[in-house]
Structure 1
Amino acid sequence: MVLTDNHSIIFRLKGVLEFSCQLHTSNESLIEDTISKCFRTLHSRVSSEGLVFSICNSAVLLWPNKGLQTTAENLTSTTACRDVLQHLDMEDGGSKKSSKKKDRKNAGPPVVNMKLLTEVTESEDIGALSLCKVTQQLHNVQMPLCVDCVFTVTGQDTLAFVCSGLVAVLCKQLSEMEEVVQKYRKGSSLLVPQPFHFQLPETIALVTVIYPAGVQDSQLLSVREELHRKYGLPSDRPWFRRANVFHFPDEVYKDGYLRNPHTSLTAPNVEDAKLYVVRGMYSYYHYMQDRVDDNGWGCAYRSLQTICSWFQQQGYTERAVPTHREIQQALVDVGDKEPPFVGSRQWIGSIEVQVVLSQLLDVTSKILFVSQGSELASKGRELANHFETVGTPVMIGGGVLAHTILGVAWSESSGEIRFLILDPHYTGGEDLQTITDKGWCGWKGPEFWDQYAYYNLCLPQIPKTI
């Protein structure tokens, strides 16, 4: 990969530091002081000359606190950090030639992963051994601190600048971890602090927030409110829930679903048209996934699942994407369907999608009625406004088919329009190139719709919440 001086690079440093201490079970002041002393010890370790950075997928080691010593002869303190990429074994970083080549088109800045290590040396003078008798009850505490630091730079920044920056970020993260440990401790019981990275709108650099493990997002509202004030963010949508965590381009989604396949597409050639597309992340749900044979009847269920994944990945809900059976049960619970509907292969439409979103996610929706498909070409303004102001995927049902609309390319002057369609009728594997090349996710003209069938569009709205 060739980078210019102005290209961004994310350096990511991960490692585990062992927090270990003995806390008095009844003396609050001593507990607080002991915790602070342990964190000062960790600060000393990461500020010592024995700190080592190992660049993943390479044989390069760096000593950031030793005037930047390295094991690579051509890497010095004044080396441009983009030159580090030449030392990476790209065969292990998702860069193999494969059918997922297009997936890297909008992958974002490259990530240089690094491991945090420390030199292990034996003291020459151990000193005399001593015994002490403890007469007070102590609570032995040991917990791993999984540090995860990011530092975004440009390609021309020096390696010394990167390493000193990472050490500073690491020290800052330890201080923030101490604040969280002290704030949420109950006596001598401590919660493990965990770092999360978030990307704010219109920015490249990431913001790292420390949350206590085991504390739900619903209990961290005041923390998020303070973060929104600190970064000048509006209070109408979440930015700092765990579900909003930044996904690094080199990481694979463990659930196996494709995310945002539309980002690999080329925009349609429509004169004077503007693009209005879905905001944020979603997963592509389609026929035959999750060992469910819904070929021929489950397209609306799959479109609904795609919409639910959007609300989940934007942090509006912590609920898992509902299964077909859970969708059916929700419709029975609200009285829309009779009990035998659960476990059946009956179709659902836009109205049922609206009902389920309300029942399971407490999400309201607008319904747009179109008496025949030929009228959809005239709905550019309504759809453009939806994607510009709301940004959720839209479910459209007509006849016996359902699709997901992810955006429109619309010319206000001529009225010409193209629809960005995610097709739930696909039955193959999660192969991005097949999905985009064969049009399962692609731009379609007005002729895509049955010109004489009626259509209902479900436009989910977003709650005002952080």
Structure 2
Amino acid sequence: MTPKLQISQLVINRLKLLENVCGGGLFGLMYSKNLIILGFDLESSDKLNFKKMQDNFPTEIDLCGLFKFDDCTDVKAHMQEILINVDITDNPILIKCQRKDDGELELNASQWKNGKLEEIVYEVLSEEEIYKQFVMARLLGYIEIAAEPNEKSIKQEFMTTRKKLAYGNVLFQLQSKNVFFNNNEIVGAPVSLVSDIFDLVKKKVENVDKKKNKKETALTDFQMVNIDCLVKKSDEFEKNQQAALNLILEKNKVLIPITIDAIAAVHITTKALGLYDILIESLCRTLRLIEENLLDQLVECDELAVPLTYHFKPDNFGHYYTCIYPQSIPDEDEHLTAFRRELHQQFSLSMVRPVFRRANAFPFDVITSSLLVNPHVGLKNTVEGGKQSLVQGKYSYHHYMQDKFNDDGWGCAYRSLQTLCSWFRFQGYSEHPIPSHEDIQKYLVKVGDKPKTFVNSRQWIGSTEVSMCLNGFMNVDSRIMHVSSGTELASKGSELAYHFESQGTPIMIGGGVLAHTIIGVDFNSNTGELKFLILDPHFTGDDDLQVVQNKGWCGWKGVNFWNKTAYYNLCMPQRPAIF
């Protein structure tokens, strides 16, 4: 029976951005009688290499077809070729993309059946609907593999390990729960579907959210289930200790510590017992990726380093992507730079915005800090005929009295600087910690901007000092905009809109004795009406989203918000051109 075809809205959005592209591979997931397309890559030559990155996708997301722009003369040959590599369907999908005269993209879907193409209708699934239907199972654990530092031995030992684990030497445990399962039974809870398993951990998350008084919002990411991998030693299954960070040489063999960190995309209607085989495949996928990394190191590096796993989920990507990086080799290494360049090209990503640097790995772990992230989300504004231009990506809200530090009355610019620094950390441009007030003061003394008495003082800083600190701490340059009065800010709508559309960074603005953070504008270029989305660092209360939004500490302000008699300096950080 022909499966029902579904396509993620994010896939369609990304296809619309492509220009002059021949085509590439489609990656999707089969569940029940449905095939959903969740991602794609680009092929840069006639020689297709679809299988190269399949292990980097979450388990269950596999090669399922092709997409082609305009010229499809070679499509039959490619469909025959791809059929060899497609495991999840007997009828690979072809999506033909054509740019219409008005610039819109037209998509037509077909399936390869009995040696020919047959048209097939498809349904578009929204991002939120996908997040409702699928759960990410994250497998965590630790094993050690001993091998001689050569290609033959590493390949042999990894193959042997995969076979042992696949043939029953592993048990899975729902993290923080006494629920265990293998290939034929589940012990500890009456569950039949993956949705039942998720419900066991969901209650704990809901309780945490209630304690934090968080607003109930639409799903903006996949729901997650953490599962521990227990490896059999002698007659017992054990949860091993955290991985070491060094390779140990013993009797001509290298003891390789491996942190297992694998993810699988699972539909909520999947039978719970079926999860066992999915997790085994996740385990094998991550071991194949680590093996490949070690083999690459043999060729490119003087000595082996511990391979570590990082998962990435770029904005509007719609799925995770896993990379293995050697622990002791920095992101600036020429081989890693070349690797990232290839990934950016294969996914048609910007070459000046980092995506696959380690600092930009997806933060799965629950953030213990109480800081609010993106408190502007959900706020509405009505400038008639206006266009909103907002900060791009994530930032954390820093304001008076946080960190058990009393800076009420003098620390607003320091807090705005911290918000700006958080943006560069969240986007992966820097791994430098967010500086404290003392860090900021010591740096300004170090560069000769302030006297030694400035350290541990309660003196203000302004836009110029903020720009200096951004350069020193984050290696970021800034543009300074000067305006003679708050009234003059009303004429800067076009410039500010362009900043948020091209740079997307939050802006620190200082005037008189006050500093604020601008995180967006709503501007009508015809009428000149302008509003500013303001994040106010003068707030002294607890980090409660409802209070912050309802009381206007994060909110839209008109031009009258600014002092008509004070001059203002705006520190407008510029994105570094790195990837």
TM range (shorter): 0.7 to 0.9
User: Which deviates more, 212-221 or 85-94?
Assistant: 85-94
Match of 1:260 in 2: 374
- Counterpart residue type for residue 41 of structure 1: T
Tell me, yes or no, if structure 1 residue 328 matches structure 2 residue 441: yes
Residue 450 of structure 1: SS of its match in structure 2? Answer: coil
Would you say the 8 A contact 1:259–1:281 is kept in 2?
yes
Offset of residue 305 of structure 1: 1.6
Tell me, yes or no, if structure 1 residue 194 matches structure 2 residue 313: no
Residue 388 of structure 1: SS of its match in structure 2? Answer: helix
Match of 2:453 in 1: 340
Q: Distance in 1 between matches of 2:367 and 2:288?
A: 31
Partner residue of 2:161 out of 21, 42, 52: 42
Would you say the 8 A contact 1:103–1:432 is kept in 2?
no
Offset of residue 260 of structure 1: 2.0
Residue 174 of structure 1: SS of its match in structure 2? Answer: helix
Match of 1:91 in 2: 204
Q: 1:9 to 1:180 in 2, by over 3 A?
A: same
Match of 1:288 in 2: 401
Q: 1:46 to 1:418 in 2, by over 3 A?
A: farther
Match of 1:134 in 2: none
Summarize the alignment of residues 130-141 of structure 1 with structure 2, pairs less than 5 Å apart: 138-139=251-252, 141=254
Match of 1:184 in 2: 297
Offset of residue 379 of structure 1: 2.3
Higher strand share: 2
- Counterpart residue type for residue 21 of structure 1: A
Summarize the alignment of residues 350-389 of structure 1 with structure 2, pairs less than 5 Å apart: 350-389=463-502
Deviations 1:147-198 (A, max 9, x none): 1112234545665776544433321210111122343369997432211111
Q: Distance in 2 between matches of 1:99 and 1:255?
A: 11
Identity of aligned residues (%): 40
Q: Give the count of matched residue pairs.
A: 436
Tell me, yes or no, if structure 1 residue 229 matches structure 2 residue 345: yes
Q: 1:156 to 1:215 in 2, by over 3 A?
A: same
Partner residue of 2:415 out of 296, 299, 302: 302
Q: Distance in 2 between matches of 1:221 and 1:316?
A: 14
Match of 1:455 in 2: 568
Would you say the 8 A contact 1:99–1:432 is kept in 2?
no
Structure 2-normalised TM-score? 0.67
For the aligned residues, what is the CA RMSD?
A: 3.2
Match of 1:131 in 2: none
Q: 1:213 to 1:376 in 2, by over 3 A?
A: same
Residue 332 of structure 2: SS of its match in structure 1? Answer: helix
Would you say the 8 A contact 2:264–2:278 is kept in 1?
yes
- Counterpart residue type for residue 14 of structure 1: L
- Counterpart residue type for residue 448 of structure 1: F
Would you say the 8 A contact 1:151–1:162 is kept in 2?
no
Deviations 1:49-91 (A, max 9, x none): 454333346555443xx3x644489755xx5x44543444513
Match of 1:55 in 2: 174
Offset of residue 141 of structure 1: 4.5
Residue 12 of structure 1: SS of its match in structure 2? Answer: strand
Residue 217 of structure 1: SS of its match in structure 2? Answer: coil
Offset of residue 321 of structure 1: 2.1
Structure 1-normalised TM-score? 0.82
Q: Distance in 1 between matches of 2:260 and 2:536?
A: 41
Partner residue of 2:509 out of 396, 401, 412: 396
Deviations 1:351-376 (A, max 9, x none): 22223323443322122222221332
Q: Distance in 1 between matches of 2:492 and 2:569?
A: 12
Residue 218 of structure 1: SS of its match in structure 2? Answer: coil
Offset of residue 22 of structure 1: 6.1
Q: Distance in 2 between matches of 1:157 and 1:375?
A: 60
- Counterpart residue type for residue 361 of structure 1: M
Match of 1:439 in 2: 552
Offset of residue 383 of structure 1: 1.5
Partner residue of 2:382 out of 269, 278, 290: 269
Q: Distance in 1 between matches of 2:503 and 2:129?
A: 36
Offset of residue 457 of structure 1: 1.2
Q: 1:235 to 1:187 in 2, by over 3 A?
A: closer
Q: Distance in 2 between matches of 1:168 and 1:335?
A: 58
Larger relative contact order (CA 8 Å, sep ≥ 6): 1
Q: 1:345 to 1:187 in 2, by over 3 A?
A: closer
Tell me, yes or no, if structure 1 residue 15 matches structure 2 residue 140: yes
Q: Distance in 2 between matches of 1:5 and 1:326?
A: 43
Q: 1:304 to 1:92 in 2, by over 3 A?
A: closer
Residue 101 of structure 1: SS of its match in structure 2? Answer: coil
Q: Distance in 1 between matches of 2:302 and 2:484?
A: 66
- Counterpart residue type for residue 527 of structure 2: S
Residue 539 of structure 2: SS of its match in structure 1? Answer: coil
Unaligned runs of 5+ in 1: 124-136
Q: Distance in 1 between matches of 2:363 and 2:131?
A: 22
Deviations 1:292-333 (A, max 9, x none): 332211111111121112112222223222232332343344
User: Which deviates more, 82-91 or 205-214?
Assistant: 82-91
Q: Distance in 2 between matches of 1:410 and 1:142?
A: 60
Match of 1:33 in 2: 152
Partner residue of 2:392 out of 273, 276, 279: 279
Deviations 1:228-283 (A, max 9, x none): 233222211110111111123xx4224553322222x3222333333221112222
Residue 160 of structure 2: SS of its match in structure 1? Answer: helix
Tell me, yes or no, if structure 1 residue 244 matches structure 2 residue 369: no
Partner residue of 1:405 out of 507, 518, 540: 518
Match of 2:247 in 1: none
Would you say the 8 A contact 2:480–2:569 is kept in 1?
yes
Partner residue of 2:326 out of 212, 216, 241: 212
Offset of residue 392 of structure 1: 0.4
Unaligned runs of 5+ in 2: 1-127, 237-249
